[in-house]
Amino acid sequence: MAIQPPELFVYNLLTSTSGSIYATINTRLFPNFAPQDAALPYVVYTRDNTEHYHHLEGVSGLMKPSIQLNIYTDKYKVVKTLAEQIRVIMENWGNMGLHYIGASSGGNTVTIKHLSLDSEQDDFIGPISAKGTGTHMVVQDYIFAVNETVV
């Protein structure tokens, strides 16, 4: 199954070689889960909710998906720096008034009109063995405003 907008948009934005985080994560940006042997740091993205809006005549074409980014690394300072870099990339795109237009595999046209950070939290995954140091994590939830032309 092909990656669908806005997930494809997030992947392309964060893995762009011109982006400030490319040197840190390269292409270690995974949908839904990361491989067990993935090198740190890495980011996992998941669409965790989508609201579709309707009116009296049916589908309005407006949807509000939310994408969760889970950022993992072995050092607290690194995860906080990476999280801030990602927030700046994501929110600067949203604040520039740019629109991303893409097509889903079903032939629908999707236009991303807006995105913003809805929430952010820190977390820690304890070490698996006595030799481990554990993994620091930042969870970011982004809300999108998307127009979808349904065919």
Domains and CATH numbers, the chain: 7-149 (3.30.2000.30)
At residue 7, the pLDDT reads: 85
At residue 145, the pLDDT reads: 87
Tokens at residue 91, please? 């929110």
Cα separation, 63 vs 127, whole angstroms: 39
Cα separation, 72 vs 80, whole angstroms: 10
Tokens at residue 35, please? 């491989």
Among the residue ranges 6-10, 19-23, 58-62, 122-126, the one predicted with the least confidence is 19-23
Among the residue ranges 3-7, 44-48, 99-103, 115-119, the one predicted with the least confidence is 99-103
pLDDT band at 2 (very low <50, low <70, confident <90, very high): very low
Question: Are the C-beta atoms of residues 4 and 95 closer than 8 Å to each other?
Answer: no
Average pLDDT on 45-61 reads 86
pLDDT band at 93 (very low <50, low <70, confident <90, very high): confident
Query: Whole-model pTM?
Result: 0.84
Among the residue ranges 12-26, 90-104, 111-125, the one predicted with the least confidence is 90-104
